[in-house]
A and B are shown apart, each in its own frame.
Chain A
Amino acid sequence: VSELEVNTVSAASLGVTSSLADATVAEIAGLGEIEIPITGGELAGLIEVRDVQIPEVMERFDQLAAVLMEEVNALHQTGYGLDRTTGIDFFSGESVIDISINPLLQAQPEKLAVAGEPDAEGDNQIALAIAQKRYEELFADGRETFEEFNNSTLSIVGVHSQRAQRHAENNDLLVQQLTRLQASISGVSIDEELSQMIQFQRAYEAAARYISTVDQLLETLMNM
């Protein structure tokens, strides 16, 4: 057990610096690193969501964006625009957060490389090829298409959430039951207290009457 000196004059901020994978380390400004294992409770839950579950989902979205960009850009680069431009990307960006349409295309849409050959304004081969990517199984080791992969992500989130809700409900019931048991032992029943109070009151009255009677007896004796 680490000893923590409490400084009563100043306040320091508490930061959690590493993830749940190893023992979580809390850093207190001015006092350095102190190991405080956070393995349960609301804090652990928040940390798990931040460091494990959300990154898992974000990674899937990143993968979706990366494959989309890679496949579409590769095809688009081989296509030709109306002005014979070729070799440009359709998407620009690094990840799901900044994926966007190439600003060059937005400014000059005639460079959209839909045709497979130059000077063939009605050609749509590249567009067809890109459209076919919808049916190609590019995810999960060649088992899932774009749509299926996205669906899976949704399912994962749904299942995690559902499981968390179930756990919360179950634990709620446990807390309720324990509270009842505790209240059963230490709680006050007004009926009980009042009944007992009346009992004690009567007992007291009886004792008082007894003393009064003994007092009268003694008085009689004294007056003989």
Chain B
Amino acid sequence: MRITHQIITTQAILDMERSLRHLEKTRSEVASGRRLSRPSDDPIDVSRALGFRNEIAGIRQHRRNIDNALPRLNQTESVLDSMNEILLQLKQHALQLGTQSTVNDRDRENAVEQIQQLKEQTIQFANTKIGGQFIFAGSNTRTRPFEEVDDQVYYRGNNAEISVEIEPQSTVPINIPGLDAFDTSESGVFHMMNDFKTALMQNDKTALKEIIDRIDAHTETILKVRTVNAARTQRMEISQDRLLDNEIDTTQVLSETEDVDLARAITEFAEGQNSYQVALFSAARAIQPSLLSVLG
């Protein structure tokens, strides 16, 4: 094939252009830190990267959900712990006043007063709020669940459980419905306290013995719901750790897919600069000489 000067010039221009294009690509990678800036750069990896981003967003939301739920679970635990204390005190009173023979009227009057105090406290605990929401009201979280009218306690909440999603398609309830911990029926804890007061005022020793059994039963109930709550707390805390690990791992894979290896990119950019310079230089040299410049 004949080589003419036109061919040399055209080819030189094309080669400079190619070199410049490569230079621009490597410059862009170094400046942005990203390998993938458009879907056509690598359709499969872009798709994978998008998948990872979605996953990370999901993980972050789940972590937020757990962060929001744990305070409620912890508060529940705290209240149930306090309830346990109250029941212990009641039992002590019951034992003292039920078994001792040297109990006088004033002792019993004091006891009635104290039981009333413990009852008020129980109602207060049962109406605990966190973040403006009552935690023992089921899903009726804006209405005070336990109301006392003429010494009787009525439940205004419902028995619904509120759940949150802590992992994909995995939900955990975060509340104890009020009646599960604070029964308002005749066999419940409030009636027990009323009956306790009545038994004391009437000095009914038989009734007092029964009260002790009922206190035990209520203590058992509190322990049951406390266990349920503790199990949920533990499950969330375990998930919390696992989610954090997941997020770190996925972020790493995302980076490996999307990001450019900066050291390699800078090296390629330097090479690109070099190549471009060489292309310019060689083009300048090649298109000038011809026989014309040599002949006189």
Contact = CB atoms under 8 A, between A and B. Distances in A.
Interface of A: 115, 117, 119-124, 128, 131-132, 134-135, 147-148, 150-152, 154-155, 157-159, 161-162, 165, 176, 179-181, 183-185, 187-192, 194-195, 198
B169 A132 contact: yes
Given A128-B171, A155-B47, 15 more contacts: A117-B139, A123-B160, A131-B165, A135-B169, A151-B51, A158-B38, A162-B40, A176-B14, A180-B1, A180-B7, A181-B1, A184-B3, A189-B5, A194-B290, A194-B295
B106 interface: no
B40 A124 contact: no
A154 to B, nearest CB: 5
Interface in B145-167: 158, 160, 162-165
A188 B4 CA distance: 6
A41 to B, nearest CB: 22
B40 to A, nearest CB: 4
A179 B2 contact: no
A124 B163 contact: yes
A35 B1 CA distance: 43
A151 B158 CA distance: 43
A195 B158 CA distance: 107
Contact of B168 (A135, A150, A185, A191): A135
Contacts of A192: 4
9 contacts: A120-B138, A122-B137, A122-B140, A122-B175, A123-B160, A132-B169, A134-B58, A135-B169, A154-B50
B54 A121 contact: no
Given A122-B140, A155-B47, A189 B2 contact: yes
B128 to A, nearest CB: 14
B143 to A, nearest CB: 8
Given A180-B10, A189-B5, A191-B290, A128 B163 contact: yes
B203 interface: no
Contact of A187 (B7, B58, B137, B141): B7
Contacts of B46: 154-155, 158
Contacts of A188: 4-6
A180 B11 contact: yes
A183 B168 contact: no
A31 B10 CA distance: 44
A115 B157 CA distance: 15
B279 to A, nearest CB: 16
Contacts of A185: 2
A121 B142 contact: yes
